[in-house]
């Protein structure tokens, strides 16, 4: 069977989703999980975009050994230099450079002629190939580019040293038969096409990203680019778990396979969902909460007689387990540590001590601690590293016909304590008005979401917020059994992200 390389871009294209703001620790946690998932290439970011992006890409390249790490670069020498400086320490550094090729982009965005775009592409591919062992070149908006011109520029960049040619459906415009035919056309009309791997990169604006990606494979593509859970700009990218499972379940038809570790899919999906704050719809294919639920009497009858009547994918195949090991307040340190290792979390002794204390405190109040609870607890502990402002205490007074009042005490830095009170139309508004007073500046709340971790009356509450703090858009999350404490933690987590990032940027400037 043909091997299809999986190019994973959750950390670059996925992070461009509106409202998503991953910090360094979160990006590294996702990168480790992508490596366990078995992706071939991890696009870790856009190194030239910011110092923070550069540092994240560099550290991921340093730590990841079983996947090739790449970074995005425009057809600009400065971008390529930044990509090389951040990636050169990696096990297999590769460059991903792009330029738009469609008439609408050439005329309105680039203001360049066809020939100028070819010359710039050739120049930058040669520049990148002098450093990188693998250069991938992308024709932005390829699906709306004239086919004869696309073939001409692809041949030119192959001659210049490109090893991978990416044909993006940048705005999700193509229909599957059209998109597949682009790959067939290139294979027939580009003389040097056998020297390169062809890659598909599909967006989901018309809901056809998975169909288009599979059509590209039928047309000769040997690499598919996408994200976990299909996150990304606008309507998102192709969901890689859908492509991988389609290839596996219908190997008889596609005669192609990926090397993804399929039973790591659900764990990867859950991690990305929690860290980005983008909840997976219950009816989402492969990893949605309802993907393996059967309510119809006819379906249930069929399932009881023979599972394959209505279930083409077994839940266990993608890592969905109904028999999670349950820990409780009587569980010891050893059992807790073993469970962390089974969940693929690597923690220091100091983190372990802190986590175990929190685990015991929660277990005293909850009947059971499931895998979901433990994962949420670990991620919350890692998020707590950003703690310029820390919640010390809060008190909320609210009644049906009373004005809600909140009193909050924060610890600022190592020593200073701040206490304020304020009112609001409801408990959360009173709480956030009080926190705004504590911070001494205007904070604009743009989004507030809450979801439970697990089920039951004692489920943990996870709150996600998006705010504008001092002119910077940021997001944060908080976890607690109490909804209001989780709300306060999420708000402070968002603020702390901005403060810590500014401190890091200032240090970088001084160095």
Q: Name the binding residues for Mn(2+).
A: 13, 201, 203, 237
Element (DSSP H or E) covering residue 406:
strand 404-412
Q: Which residues pair with 7 in a beta bridge?
A: 41, 225
Tally the residues of the chain: 511
Q: What is the DSSP letter of 279?
A: P
- Gyration radius from the chain CA atoms: 25
**Rounded-to-integer distance, Cα 29 and Cα 384, Å:** 14
Q: Which residues pair with 71 in a beta bridge?
A: 45, 95
The candidate with the shortest Cα–Cα distance to 390, out of 489, 323, 256, 315, is 489
SS (H, E, C) 237-259: ECEHHHHHHHHHHCHHHHCEECC
CB 182 within 8 A of CB 165: no
* Distance from the Cα of residue 282 to its chain's centroid: 18
Binding-site residue numbers are 13, 201, 203, 237
**Rounded-to-integer distance, Cα 88 and Cα 84, Å:** 5
Strand boundaries in 278-349, DSSP class E: none
SS3 472: strand
The candidate with the shortest Cα–Cα distance to 45, out of 57, 35, 63, 29, is 57
The candidate with the shortest Cα–Cα distance to 19, out of 226, 277, 382, 383, is 277
**Rounded-to-integer distance, Cα 81 and Cα 127, Å:** 9
- Give 78: exposed, middle or buried? Use CB within 10 Å, 0-12, 13-18, 19+: exposed
**Residue 175: other Cβ atoms inside 10 A:** 15
**Rounded-to-integer distance, Cα 246 and Cα 256, Å:** 10
**Residue 30: other Cβ atoms inside 10 A:** 25
**Rounded-to-integer distance, Cα 134 and Cα 162, Å:** 7
For residue 356, which phi and psi values (nearest 5 degrees)? -65, -35
CB 169 within 8 A of CB 133: no
């Amino acid at each position: 069977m043909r091997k299809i390389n999986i190019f994973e871009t959750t950390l670059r294209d996925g992070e461009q989703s509106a409202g998503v703001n991953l910090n360094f620790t979160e990006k590294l946690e996702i990168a480790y999980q992508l490596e366990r998932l078995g992706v071939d290439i991890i696009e870790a970011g856009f190194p030239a975009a910011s110092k923070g992006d550069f540092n994240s890409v560099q550290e991921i390249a340093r730590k990841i050994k079983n996947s090739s790490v790449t970074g995005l670069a425009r057809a600009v020498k400065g971008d390529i230099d930044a990509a090389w400086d951040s990636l050169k320490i990696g096990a297999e550094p590769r460059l991903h450079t792009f330029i738009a090729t469609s008439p609408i982009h050439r005329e309105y965005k680039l203001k360049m002629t066809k020939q100028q775009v070819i010359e710039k592409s050739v120049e930058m591919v040669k520049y990148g190939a002098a450093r990188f062992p693998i250069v991938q070149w992308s024709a932005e908006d390829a699906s709306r580019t004239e086919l004869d011109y696309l073939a001409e520029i692809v041949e030119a960049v192959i001659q210049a040293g490109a090893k991978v040619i990416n044909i993006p459906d940048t705005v999700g415009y193509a229909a599957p038969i059209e998109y597949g035919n682009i790959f067939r056309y290139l294979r027939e009309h580009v003389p040097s096409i056998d020297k390169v791997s062809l890659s598909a990169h599909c967006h989901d604006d018309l809901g056809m990203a998975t169909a288009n990606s599979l059509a590209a494979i039928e047309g000769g593509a040997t690499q598919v680019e996408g994200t976990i859970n299909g996150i990304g700009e606008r309507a998102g990218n192709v969901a890689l778990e859908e492509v991988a499972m389609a290839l596996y379940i219908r190997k008889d038809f596609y005669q192609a396979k990926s090397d993804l570790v399929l039973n790591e899919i659900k764990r990867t999906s859950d991690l990305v969902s929690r860290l980005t704050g983008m909840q997976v719809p219950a009816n989402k294919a492969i990893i949605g909460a309802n993907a393996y639920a059967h309510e119809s009497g006819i379906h249930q009858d069929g399932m009881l007689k023979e599972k394959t009547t209505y279930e083409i994918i077994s839940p266990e195949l993608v890592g969905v387990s109904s028999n999670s090991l349950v820990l409780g307040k009587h569980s010891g340190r050893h059992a807790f540590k073993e469970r962390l290792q089974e969940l693929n979390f690597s923690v220091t002794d100091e983190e372990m001590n802190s986590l175990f204390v929190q685990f015991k405190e929660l277990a005293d109040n909850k009947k059971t601690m499931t895998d979901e609870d433990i994962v949420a607890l670990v991620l919350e502990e890692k998020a707590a590293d950003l703690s310029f402002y820390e919640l010390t205490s809060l008190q909320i007074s609210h009644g049906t016909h009373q004005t809600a009042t909140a009193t909050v005490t924060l610890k600022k830095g190592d020593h200073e304590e701040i206490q304020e009170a304020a009112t609001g139309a409801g408990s959360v508004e009173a709480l956030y008005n009080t926190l705004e007073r504590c911070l001494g500046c205007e904070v604009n709340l743009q989004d507030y979401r809450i979801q439970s971790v697990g089920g039951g009356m004692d489920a943990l509450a996870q709150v996600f917020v998006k705010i504008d703090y001092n002119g910077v858009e940021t997001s944060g999350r908080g976890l607690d059994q109490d909804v209001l404490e989780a709300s306060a933690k999420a708000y402070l987590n968002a603020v702390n992200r901005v403060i810590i990032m500014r401190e890091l940027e200032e240090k970088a400037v001084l160095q």
